[in-house]
Amino acid sequence: MLQSHAGQANKDYEAQKALLAKVEKGEIAIADLKAKGRQLLEEPDAVNA
């Protein structure tokens, strides 16, 4: 059974979706995503650093 079907929330997956949404909107450049992907997931404001 999948976690989502069992009522389990996957915080990493949600963070990844939110990060990709920002890339789609143009808020984060693809170059920044490639260079600082893990940091952006852990600290959402890291793109400004």
Q: What is the per-residue DSSP string for 3-48?
A: TGGGT---HHHHHHHHHHHHHHHTSS-HHHHHHHHHHHHH-TTGGG
Instruction: Return the pLDDT at 2.
Output: 62
Q: For 33, list phi and psi in degrees, rounded to 5.
A: -60, -45
Q: Check residue 28 and give its pLDDT.
A: 93
Within 8 A by CB and 6+ apart from 3, the residues are: 9, 10
Q: Is pTM beyond 0.75 here? A: no
To 10 degrees, the CA torsion angle through 38, 42, 44, 49? -70
Q: Please give the pLDDT value at position 49.
A: 47
Over the stretch 2-49, which tens digit does the pLDDT of each residue have? 666 667 778 888 889 999 999 999 999 999 999 998 899 887 665 554
User: What is the C-alpha radius of gyration for the chain, rounded to an integer number of angstroms?
Assistant: 13
